[in-house]
């Protein structure tokens, strides 16, 4: 019988320690938004009515070195929309909105939540909500993530386009045709699997231009160029991975108290090292949001909270199940 190497044994142990949530049965979900949910004026009413939310913004400003609340409330929009600022802003505003839920519906509402997920950046918010990382450590990671993604985007021009009205297979065909037109060294691919008829593709500027030109011929209802710094969730973000890995290695993570479903594989993980590995991979991997929400619904989810700025997630959930119950706890 062949003996396992020490590396193989370590992998086997890790796999066995990562299955604590394998049989999870969701009933109430906390869903957290990603970049793009921000808007000037967000959190203004929240901090005026929920003292714990104001304390959270004050703490965040100390860590970041600038007045985050002022940036959220007053802008300017172009600064708030930048990757380096919007990511910390949405992270803090979303966790501040958790305090709004606690203040309005009581601790029982928080305790009833038995699964969490977040869209891209929102996965960090979900992990902080679930106790896998502290608020402060999560903010530091999100700050570095936003800065690293911005730097990667600046180093190599790229873009994203939302494709409306096609199924994922047809969008994949569109991406293949756009890549052939732009050149194989300038690829474009699906980056966000959001819901049927709504997929975001990501890649070279030339590839995204081709997606917009070819979209109608493939049957797309419309294509919309997204106001983001670059091709998120593709290999164009590879330069961000090394810095993120180093920061994650230096950050203490523990097993989350409830399942947090990963964007990378639409599965919950309980091993802190596996979670770190997946977070590092997340910036270059497609977001499997459609798979995540479908799995929740198939497993018997009865209610969701969209916690944070915007109402994008509620629209996605309703596209997957018109009868779904989702409550918006806005920032």
Told to judge if 269 belongs to the known catalytic residues of this protein, a careful annotator would answer: no
Site of tokens 């049989």? 23
Distance separating alpha carbons of residues 259 and 24, to the nearest angstrom: 7
DSSP H helical segments within the chain, as ranges? 6-17, 44-49, 51-64, 68-74, 77-80, 83-105, 107-112, 122-129, 135-155, 168-182, 205-214, 238-249, 272-282, 289-298, 312-320
Neighbouring-strand partners of residue 193: 199
Is the N-terminal amide bond of 200 cis, ω within 30° of 0?
Answer: no
Query: Which candidate in 86, 202, 233, 270 is catalytic?
Result: 233
Largest CA distance in the chain: 67
Told to judge if 94 belongs to the known catalytic residues of this protein, a careful annotator would answer: no
For residues 94 and 307, the answer to whether their CB atoms sit within 8 Å is: yes
Query: Which candidate in 86, 94, 120, 202 is catalytic?
Result: 120
CA distances from 261 to 1, 209, 272 (A): 37, 33, 13
Residue in 86, 99, 90 with CA at minimum distance from that of residue 56: 99
Question: Which positions are catalytic?
Answer: 120, 233
């Amino acid at each position: 019988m062949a003996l396992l190497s020490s590396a193989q044994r370590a992998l086997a142990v890790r796999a066995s320690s990562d299955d604590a949530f394998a049989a999870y049965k969701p009933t109430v979900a906390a869903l957290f938004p990603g970049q793009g949910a921000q808007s000037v004026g967000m959190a203004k009413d929240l901090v005026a009515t929920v003292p714990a939310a104001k304390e959270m913004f004050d703490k965040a400003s100390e860590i970041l070195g600038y007045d985050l609340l002022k940036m959220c409330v007053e802008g300017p929009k172009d600064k708030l929309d930048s990757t380096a600022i919007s990511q910390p802003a949405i992270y803090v505003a979303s966790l501040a909105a958790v305090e709004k839920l606690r203040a309005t519906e009581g601790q029982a509402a928080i305790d009833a939540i038995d699964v969490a997920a977040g869209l891209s950046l929102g996965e960090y918010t979900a992990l902080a909500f679930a106790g896998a990382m502290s608020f402060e450590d999560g903010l530091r990671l999100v700050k570095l993530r936003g800065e690293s993604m911005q730097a990667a985007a600046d180093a190599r021009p790229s873009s994203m386009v939302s494709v409306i009205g096609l199924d994922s297979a047809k969008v994949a065909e569109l991406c293949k045709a756009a890549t052939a037109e732009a050149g194989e060294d300038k690829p474009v691919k699906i980056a966000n699997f959001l819901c049927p008829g709504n997929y975001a593709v990501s890649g070279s500027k030339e590839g995204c231009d081709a997606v917009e030109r070819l979209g109608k011929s493939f049957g797309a209802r419309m294509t919309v160029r997204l106001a983001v710094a670059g091709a998120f969730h593709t290999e164009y973000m590879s330069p961000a991975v090394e810095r993120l890995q180093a920061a994650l290695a230096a950050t203490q993570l523990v097993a989350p108290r409830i399942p947090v479903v990963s964007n990378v594989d639409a599965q919950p993980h309980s091993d802190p090292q596996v979670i770190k590995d997946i977070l590092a991979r997340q910036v270059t991997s497609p977001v499997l949001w459609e798979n995540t929400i479908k799995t929740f619904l198939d497993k018997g989810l009865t209610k969701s909270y969209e916690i944070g700025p915007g109402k994008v997630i509620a629209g996605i959930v309703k596209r997957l199940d018109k009868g779904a119950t989702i409550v918006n706890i806005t920032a």
